[in-house]
């Protein structure tokens, strides 16, 4: 027996398959065994977790996740078109925001663009209308000014309500000014300056006798006021375009509920 043991050991040493490079052919490595065992444990844990997720409570919680956390594998054509247009709107609005801050390409003209935007603000127009109403001595002038005041108040309330419903933010993170807070013009959609400028220009074109150059300047003023809000980064392009549409609709509403001269005189006497 003692002599046979050294012979078997020598035979094992001379065996080619016992070398390190052929060891993996004879038996699996310890690392592979450990990885396989850990993989089995993980699969077992995942199976257990999947079995727990089959509970009705957790199934209801997973169904209550918000839509933005769920992947839509088959979006509709309308959804794709809407998202594409929205992306184009955001991209173009950011490119046109040349006065969004002092470091922008047109940052030096930001003060002038802000001054142009103030000409379409609601507070100066309401104050000016009240001053003109106090100084007016004709019945026709008072009738036009009272309906203009009604149109300005309706514009502020309608735009503020729509902005509260939409709660869309502008392309840049810019805080509203003091006048914007006074008129509750704190969100982007629709653009309050654009709706007011469109409503005022249409109102003056219908109720004032103006020469053709003044009529052209009035329309250009409304367009410049609207798109100045895109240049300073407060609104998207679609916000301004929708503001123009809402401004025209507000003008049509004021025309429908137009107050007569007697009604205006009664309101003035009460005031």
117 touches 243 (CB < 8 A): no
Question: Does a structural domain hold residue 81?
Answer: no
Of residues 68, 93, 82, 238, the one with CA closest to residue 174:
93
Residue 244 lies in a domain: yes
259 vs 55: which has the higher pLDDT: 259
pLDDT at position 216 is 95
List 121, 193, 207, 236, catalytic entry: 193
Q: Residue 217 above 90 pLDDT?
A: yes
Q: Confirm whether 248 is domain-assigned.
A: yes
Query: How many percent of the chain have pLDDT more than 90?
Result: 35
Asked if residue 14 is part of any domain, the answer here is no
Domain assignment of residue 139, given as a range: 110-270
Of 162, 229, 223, the residue nearest 190 (C-alpha):
162
Helix (H) / strand (E) containing 202: helix 192-207
* Nearest-angstrom CA–CA distance, 262 and 52: 75
Catalytic residue, from 121, 207, 235, 236: name it.
Answer: 235
Mean pLDDT check: name the lowest of 21-30, 180-189, 208-217: 21-30
- Please give the residue that has the higher pLDDT: either 37 or 250: 250
Contacts of 247 (CB under 8 A, 6+ apart): 155, 194, 195, 196, 197, 198, 199, 200, 202
Does residue 203 surpass a pLDDT of 50?
yes
Judge whether residue 164 has pLDDT over 60.
yes
Tens digit of each residue's pLDDT (9 = 90 or more) over 35-88: 455 555 555 454 544 444 445 545 555 455 444 444 455 567 777 887 888 888
- With respect to residue 3, please indicate whether it lies within any of the assigned structural domains: no
pLDDT for residue 223 is more than 90 = yes
207 is catalytic: no
Residue 226, domain member (yes or no): yes
Is there a contact between 229 and 240 (Cβ–Cβ < 8 Å)? yes
Q: Residue 215 domain-assigned?
A: yes
Distance (Å, rounded) from C-alpha 158 to C-alpha 13?
94
Q: Residue 61 domain-assigned?
A: no
What pLDDT band is residue 97 in, cutting at 50, 70 and 90?
Answer: confident
- Cα distance between residue 89 and residue 236, in whole Å: 7
Task: Give the model's pLDDT for residue 143.
Answer: 92
What is the rounded (10 degree) CA torsion for 189, 190, 191, 197?
A: 180
Block residue for tokens 């979006």: 75
Please report where in the chains the tokens 């046109």 appear, as a residue.
Answer: 96
Q: Give me the pLDDT at residue 152, please.
A: 95
Per-residue pLDDT for 176 more than 60? Answer: yes
User: pLDDT grade, residue 104 (50/70/90)?
Assistant: confident
How many domains, in total, are found in the chain?
1
Contact 159, 189 (CB under 8 A): no
Contact (CB, 8 A) for 143 and 110: no
Is 235 an annotated catalytic residue? yes
């Amino acid at each position: 027996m003692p002599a046979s043991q050294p012979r078997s050991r020598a035979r094992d040493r001379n065996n080619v398959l016992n070398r390190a490079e052929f060891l993996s052919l004879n038996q699996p490595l310890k690392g592979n065994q450990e990885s396989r065992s850990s993989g089995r444990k993980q699969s077992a844990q995942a199976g257990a977790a999947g079995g727990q997720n089959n509970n009705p409570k957790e199934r209801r919680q997973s169904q209550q996740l918000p839509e933005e956390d769920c992947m839509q594998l088959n979006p509709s054509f309308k959804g794709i078109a809407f998202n594409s247009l929205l992306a184009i709107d955001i991209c173009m609005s950011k490119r046109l925001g040349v006065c969004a801050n002092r470091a922008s390409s047109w940052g030096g003209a930001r003060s002038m663009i802000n001054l142009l935007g103030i000409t379409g603000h609601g507070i100066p127009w309401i104050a000016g209308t009240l001053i003109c109403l106090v100084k007016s001595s004709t019945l026709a002038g008072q009738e036009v000014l009272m309906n203009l005041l009604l149109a300005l108040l309706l514009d502020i309330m309608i735009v503020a309500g729509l902005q509260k419903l939409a709660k869309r933010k502008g392309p840049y993170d810019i805080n509203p000014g003091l006048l914007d807070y006074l008129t509750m013009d704190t969100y982007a959609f629709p653009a309050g300056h654009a709706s007011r400028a469109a409503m005022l220009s249409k109102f003056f074109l219908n109720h004032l006798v103006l020469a053709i150059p003044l009529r052209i300047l009035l329309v250009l003023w409304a367009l410049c006021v609207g798109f100045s809000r895109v240049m300073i980064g407060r609104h998207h392009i679609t916000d301004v375009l929708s503001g123009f549409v809402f401004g025209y609709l507000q003008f049509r509403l004021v025309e429908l509920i137009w107050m007569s001269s007697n009604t205006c005189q009664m309101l003035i006497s009460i005031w």
